[in-house]
Structure 1
Amino acid sequence: MIERDDALEVKWARLEDFATNLLLFHDNTSSLGEFRLSSRVYNQRHVDRWIHRGIEYCPSVLIILILNYCRFKLPPVVGSNFCHLKMLRLCSVDLGSHFADLLCSACPVMEDLKLGNCEFSGNSSQVITSPTLKKLELESCVNNTGYPLVITVPSLAYLCLCYGYYEAGISLFKMDSLVRAKIYVTEYETLSQQTERELLCSLYNVTSLELVGFGAEEMLIEKSDKFPIFHNMRTLDLHGCFLDEYELYDKLEALGSFLQSAPCLEKLILKYCMFHSFSDSEWEMERKIITLHREEVKTFQCQQLKLIEVVYDHDHDHQLIGRLGRSLPDASIKLKKLERFST
């Protein structure tokens, strides 16, 4: 074990010597174009030094990908070194309690931020705010601070919230410039139905919206809790939605009521929605408990909706097709059979 560690120390030293000599030729009056570090954490001290080394040259693009199972704690950095930073990618990093403040105060030209499997820690509120940020992606991140994660980015054009654990929820403000949004949730996450509804309400300005894992209750519009009008929405992509324990009639009621909040919607995509993936034999048993309610089918007014694309994996989805045709009679329906877990 000692020999192995000694050999690694020698390799790290040689690599640092190489990088030092290489950077000697870099013009210190100009910023570094891109600094990328992808590594397993063999030694915290070595990784800290490499991060400091890269940030020292004020890169425009900074990518730190830590491949360990446990998150790597981001070392303290000098905020002035982020003055030219436009793109930041962090993976498996413990952001600590000061990352959000650093992003707000030290990144005057930041446009693109992606955090993957990162953790907001500490005992204070976390606020991602930037007047210049245009693209924000949070994938499988964790916020255990006890405070909501607050996102206030008035210039944001693209937002992706993909799974994750947000103990106290997420709040979005000033999303006036947002064009595209993707929101992925699962039944095992801690986001309440109210939080999911509030997220949807914050996306009122999007032209394209993709939702994964949403249920009927989150989408159903009640008189006391209406959605805003999505005046700009042209495309709605639903993946694995409405899989909760409701009758198909009730699920379509929830879908239709939401669609009526998008008067300019032109295309609706339903990918593996409404039904769980049963085999044909399992479906023969399940179909017996589904009530058709043929006489109760409600027609929804979506005058601009021209195309409904249905991606399915088992033939029992024919009930969904029939109901859609009666509820949205002005739209064409395109069918595509594709195995859900095909390679």
Structure 2
Amino acid sequence: MDRSMEPPSKRIHATENQPMEPPSKRIRGAQDDRLSDLPDCLLHSILSFLESRQVVRSSVLSRRWKNIWRSVPCLDIDFTLFRRQARCRSRKCCVTDYGRMKVCAKEWRPFVEFSDKLFLINSAPSLDRLRIHVPAVNYDDRQACSRWISRGVQRSPTVIDIHMDSSWGWGKWFLPDLGSKSYRLTRILLHGVQLDDSFAEQLRCGYPVLEHLSLVKCFYRIGDIVSGTLTHLTIDDCVGHHGFSDGIVVAAPRLTSLRTSLSTSGWPDGIYVTHTPSLVKASLCVTSWYHTKASFLDNLYRIFNIPHLELFGFNMMVNLLQISDKLPQFNNVRTLLINRCDLKTNVNIKTLDHFLQSMSSLEKLTLQNCEFTDRSKRRTSRAKWRNIALESQNLMSFKCDNLEVIEFKHSKDDGIDELFELLMGLWRNLGKTNIKLTKV
């Protein structure tokens, strides 16, 4: 007989000799906390996806979580999480660095106190990630930041991510010598950090398993980047010490991907890539062309001739053709992506044609965020679009037997029909090539 169908008196009599659970325990039992039943290693892995302040707050979830945060193998401090929603109206509590970046002392002091305690209490013998994200601060506050970096690198981190955010420009920190603590280091991400010869020497022989290196807005005093293990390298908007080096040499036999943004004023000689037989992908952006040297062009063309090439900014191609009358042949290029492509004028269309003629082995061409018409003018009629397409047919003389796909990535649906008619006019000589429109 089903006990749930018995009279209440019988059901009570059947359990009157058994101790009844308190209501609070019965509720807890109903709410089965399966997450707390996981071993510490899995809980550490889950908490590693959070910033350290959020990790500390997890201690109030249950008794099981009370001390878990103390041994999480990740230290991630971010000053932006300590900023208040409303801006500080009192100028007395704000400190200024070079008159550009203001940091409220009422926000900065709690951040420093929290970070100091965190680095002292955390008991993880080694770190999977060390991330420090702070704004530009004055000299005294930079000492606190240096203290956190020094304590963090003593835990033999696998990933180091140091970000000094500054509207003024490049930061004032030096990455300390890791010594024997670098044996687990696989990724270094630096933003606003100064680099000197000691860093170059550590790259050469001090990081035995380093694979990813990212340098953004760094102030460097190094002449080369030499590594036998490096596979991915990013050098974005970095500046060299005046009079120290006009360029930088990259020698990494295992390097497969290079991403760089450079200028002729910051690096007159550019980046010289050598001993990189595994390099298959490069993303390039040149921000200025002031007094371009022949060595800068030679080094740039060396990077161009790889299987997968990405160019950011159409002005790069326009300036290259203005500087040099004839382009070398880039026969190794298989895929080409051009971002922010400007094809509003016949001159730019011919510029693209010249570049494509130098890439006879090209298999896929991707044009992303391209502009074909001036949107500030009136909407062009469909008949006029057809006339524009017909006039553009003779602008592209490029022919490539290997070209299979031309993809246009766009973010708006406006003018898709007109765009298609224009493209059919431009690439009438590529009858076997598929034209693909993709919204991103």
> Once structures 1 and 2 are overlaid, which stretch shifts more, 134-143 or 9-18?
9-18
Q: In 2, Cα distance between the equivalents of 1:181 and 1:259?
A: 15
Partner of 1:38: 133
Partner of 1:253: 353
Partner of 2:3: none
Written as runs of structure 1 = structure 2, the 5 A alignment for 1:90-129 is: 90-96=190-196, 98-120=198-220, 122=221, 126-129=223-226
TM-score, normalisation: structure 1: 0.76
Which runs of no fewer than 5 residues in structure 1 stay unpaired? 339-343
Written as runs of structure 1 = structure 2, the 5 A alignment for 1:26-105 is: 26-27=124-125, 31-42=126-137, 43-70=141-168, 71-75=170-174, 77-80=176-179, 81-96=181-196, 98-105=198-205
Residues 128 and 319 from structure 1, CA distance in 2 versus in 1: closer, same or farther, beyond 3 angstroms? farther
Per the TM alignment, residue 21 of structure 1 is displaced from its structure 2 partner at its CA by 2.6
TM-score, normalisation: structure 2: 0.61
Q: In 2, Cα distance between the equivalents of 1:216 and 1:8?
A: 47
> Once structures 1 and 2 are overlaid, which stretch shifts more, 62-71 or 210-219?
210-219
Structure 2 contact 131–161 (Cα < 8 Å) conserved: yes
State the secondary structure of the residue aligned to 1:281: coil
Partner of 2:251: 152
Q: In 2, Cα distance between the equivalents of 1:296 and 1:107?
A: 52
Which runs of no fewer than 5 residues in structure 2 stay unpaired? 1-91, 95-103
Q: In 2, Cα distance between the equivalents of 1:193 and 1:282?
A: 43
Post-superposition Cα deviations, 1:131-183, rounded to whole Å, max 9, x if no partner, equal 10001112232234442122222211111113566332222222310122211
State the secondary structure of the residue aligned to 2:188: strand
Structure 1 contact 119–142 (Cα < 8 Å) conserved: yes
- Matching residue's letter, 2:292: S
Partner of 1:325: 427
Q: In 1, Cα distance between the equivalents of 2:175 and 2:408?
A: 49
Matched, 1:185 2:286: yes
Written as runs of structure 1 = structure 2, the 5 A alignment for 1:182-331 is: 182-186=283-287, 188=288, 190=290, 192=292, 195-196=296-297, 198-206=299-307, 208-213=308-313, 214-216=316-318, 218=320, 226-230=328-332, 233-241=333-341, 247=347, 250-260=350-360, 263=361, 265-273=362-370, 275=372, 277-281=374-378, 292=391, 298-300=397-399, 302-311=400-409, 315=415, 317=419, 321-331=423-433
Residues 95 and 170 from structure 1, CA distance in 2 versus in 1: closer, same or farther, beyond 3 angstroms? same
Greater share of residues in helix: 2
1:161 to 253, 256, 260: 260
Per the TM alignment, residue 311 of structure 1 is displaced from its structure 2 partner at its CA by 3.9
Post-superposition Cα deviations, 1:77-127, rounded to whole Å, max 9, x if no partner, equal 23413232110011122334543333223222210111222222x4xx521
Residues 294 and 135 from structure 1, CA distance in 2 versus in 1: closer, same or farther, beyond 3 angstroms? closer
Task: Identify which of structures 1 and 2 has the higher relative contact order when contacts are C-alpha pairs closer than 8 Å and 6+ apart.
Answer: 1
Structure 2 contact 284–312 (Cα < 8 Å) conserved: yes
Structure 2 contact 328–358 (Cα < 8 Å) conserved: no
State the secondary structure of the residue aligned to 2:357: helix
Q: In 2, Cα distance between the equivalents of 1:244 and 1:7?
A: 49
Q: In 2, Cα distance between the equivalents of 1:2 and 1:236?
A: 52
Residues 211 and 293 from structure 1, CA distance in 2 versus in 1: closer, same or farther, beyond 3 angstroms? closer
Q: In 1, Cα distance between the equivalents of 2:371 and 2:297?
A: 18
What is the aligned residue count? Answer: 320
Report the structure number with the largest CA radius of gyration. 2
Per the TM alignment, residue 324 of structure 1 is displaced from its structure 2 partner at its CA by 3.3
Per the TM alignment, residue 74 of structure 1 is displaced from its structure 2 partner at its CA by 2.3
Q: In 2, Cα distance between the equivalents of 1:51 and 1:296?
A: 57
Residues 334 and 47 from structure 1, CA distance in 2 versus in 1: closer, same or farther, beyond 3 angstroms? same
Residues 325 and 158 from structure 1, CA distance in 2 versus in 1: closer, same or farther, beyond 3 angstroms? same
